Amino acid sequence: MSARQVAVLGVGMHPWGKWGKPFVEYGVHAARAALADAGVAWTDVDLVVGGETVRNGYGGYVAGATFAQALGWNGARVATSYAACATGAQALDTARARILAGLSEVALVVGADTTPKGFLAPNAGERWDDPDWLRFRLLGMTNPAYFALYARRRMDLFGATSEDFAQVKVKNARHGLANPYARYRKEVSVADVLGSAVVSDPLHLLDICATSDGAAAVLVTSTEYAARHGLADSVRIAGISTVTPTFPNTVMDMPNLSTDSSLATGEPERTFKASIGHAAYEEAGVGPADVDVAEVYDLSTALELDWIEDLALCGPGEAEKLLRAGETTIGGRIPVNPSGGLACFGEAVPAQALAQVCELTWQLRGQAEGRQVEGARVGITANQGLFGHGSSVVLTR
């Protein structure tokens, strides 16, 4: 057993959707579900880590304390993390670090969000030194415009087609049918995807995830605490990667407007996204061949194919072959997004990396009713945040 492991004793979620309620209400719902799942009293929690949500005022900026107060002050330490879409993994890593340092024994990690209708956009105001603001102001580059660049790159490099991208949506929609937390629970066809409006060529509306309200929570403890409570065989977090890029970053990343030149240095050993999974594997002491199930960041259908390769679950340019052969669906060699992914959930930014951990915990316990990957023992997540935030979590059973 790795000395770096911590136990996942409880997970909980609030259903994704557009509910029109405060983010705190969603987070409290998920937190109480995680506590009930673990059978741990709120008074036993000695650390609360909140995923920050920048759209929800001061309460969102100090989310750790906000959730601690809403659950009822119990004297716990608090922390708040923000890493854009990697927020949940960074918050989880903060909790893990304090547990492994012996400074905490029972930590509750919560992420919740409410989102506006339409594109995610920077906060108001003029900020000429902010690349996230500049890409909207100077180029009109919404997130789907970047997704389309990545999709076109796959087409040019590997011969991917719009039908391939549509098939990812078809697969994930089928997976999400059995997920009670998913916002969209309806089968779609390739024709449905290709017949939906073009948002940013070559991507259609059904290729791109929505924005949603939602929440997820994870209760983590020391392995000693788990053993004392008769839960020594619980799911473990074996590795968390929050790496940043290494110069030169030669593949475009949101919200940047250019890549680094590799003229003087040569091509890097790995792209940034490939380095995220590599660091998680290295820390966990497992490899891609050990992975039974993956939850990846399908902001668009084409991005799921990128992540399959970035996690080294197949070689470059081979993701389409896996998809076409049915190997990434439940029952295939390496099921990807059995939850339905963001295709079925939409983005609730501070919650989504934690939602992936919830799904993998249910999968490794054998509790993912209607979407179970049989015999799953090792799972990996992949996420990414603006400004070089990596995110990958490896769970084992």
Indicate the pLDDT class of residue 123, thresholds 50, 70 and 90.
confident
| 178: amino acid identity, one letter | A
Are 66 and 181 found together in one domain? no
**What confidence tens digit (pLDDT) does each residue in 96-113 have?**
999 999 999 999 999 999
Angle at 41 between CA 40 and CA 43, to 5 degrees: 135
Asked whether residue 108 falls in the same domain as residue 189, the answer is: no
Q: Give residue 115's identity as a one-letter amino acid code.
A: T
Mean pLDDT lowest among 180-184, 257-261, 288-292: 257-261
In a domain, 306, yes or no: yes
Joined together, the tokens standing for residue 59 give: 């309460």
Query: What is the band of 2 on the pLDDT scale with cuts at 50, 70, 90?
Result: low
Residues 309 and 374 in one domain: yes
The domain that contains 273 carries what CATH number? Answer: 3.40.47.10
- Quick one: residue 125, left, alpha or beta (phi over 0 = left, psi -120 to 50 = alpha)? left
DSSP element (H, E) containing 396: strand 389-396
| Residues 228, 162 share a domain | no
Q: Is residue 126 part of a domain?
A: no
Based on the fold, state whether residues 106 and 145 are members of the same structural domain: no
Query: pLDDT tens across 55-100, in order?
Result: 899 999 999 999 999 999 999 999 999 999 999 999 999 999 999 9
Number of domains in the chain: 2
Q: Say if residues 265 and 304 touch (Cβ distance below 8 Å).
A: no
335, 373 contact by CB (below 8 A): yes
Q: What is the pLDDT of residue 247?
A: 94
Q: Which long-range contacts (CB under 8 A, 24 or more apart) does 146-150 make?
A: 146/252, 146/254, 147/200, 147/203, 147/207, 147/208, 147/299, 147/300, 147/302, 147/303, 148/199, 148/200, 148/201, 148/202, 148/203, 148/300, 149/252, 150/252, 150/300, 150/302, 150/303, 150/306
Q: How much is the pLDDT for 3? A: 60
- Number of residues that this document lists for the chain: 397
Q: Is the peptide bond before 22 cis (omega within 30 degrees of 0)?
A: no
**Which segments of 21-162 are extended strands (E)?**
47-51, 77-81, 106-113
Q: What is the mean pLDDT of residues 284-307?
A: 98
Is 294 a domain residue?
A: yes
Structure tokens at 164: 């391939």
**What is the C-alpha separation between 362 and 318, in angstroms, rounded?**
28
- The pLDDT of 165-191, averaged and rounded, is 98
- From CA 82, how far away is CA 61, in angstroms rounded? 9
The secondary structure of the chain in percent helix, strand, coil, rounded to multiples of 5, reads 40, 20, 40
Task: Tell me the three-class secondary structure of 30-55, residue by residue.
Answer: HHHHHHHHHCCCHHHCCEEEEECCCC
Q: How many whole angstroms separate alpha carbon 278 and alpha carbon 272?
A: 10
Mean pLDDT within 193-207: 98
Q: Which two tokens stand for residue 134?
A: 């500049």
Same domain, 10 and 108: yes
Task: Give the lowest-confidence range in 113-122, 193-202, 250-259, 262-271.
Answer: 113-122
Q: Is residue 338 part of a domain?
A: yes
Give the DSSP letter string of 189-222: -HHHHHHSPEEETTEEGGGB--B-EEEEEEEEE-
* Together in a domain, 254 and 336: yes
Considering the domain architecture, whether residues 101 and 192 belong to the same structural domain is answered as: no
Residue 248, pLDDT score = 94
Say if residue 1's pLDDT is above 50.
no
The verdict on 27 and 176 lying in the same domain is no
225 and 258, same domain (yes or no): no
Is residue 171 included in any domain, yes or no?
yes
Q: Establish if 124 belongs to a structural domain.
A: no
Same domain, yes or no: 148 and 225: no
- pLDDT attached to residue 180: 97
The pTM (predicted TM-score) of the whole model is 0.97
What are 343-391's pLDDT values in tens digits?
A: 999 999 999 999 999 999 999 999 999 999 999 999 999 999 988 999 9
Rounded to an integer, the average pLDDT of 186-204 is 98
Q: Max alpha carbon distance in the chain (Å)?
A: 58
Q: Containing domain of residue 89, as a range?
A: 6-118+213-235
% of the chain residues with pLDDT over 70 = 99
pLDDT (0 to 100) of residue 118 = 80
How far is residue 363's CA from residue 369's CA, in Å, rounded to a whole number? 9
Pair (313, 172) in one structural domain? yes
Q: Are strands 77-81 and 47-51 parallel, antiparallel or unpaired?
A: parallel
Q: Is residue 268 part of a domain?
A: yes
Please check whether residue 159 lies inside any domain of the structure.
yes
| Cβ contact 380:392 at 8 Å | yes
The chain-wide mean pLDDT, for the chain, equals 96
* Contact indicator for 31, 12 with CB cutoff of 8 Å: yes
Spatial contact of 176 and 346, defined as CB atoms under 8 Å apart: no
Distance (Å, whole) CA 339 – CA 325? 20
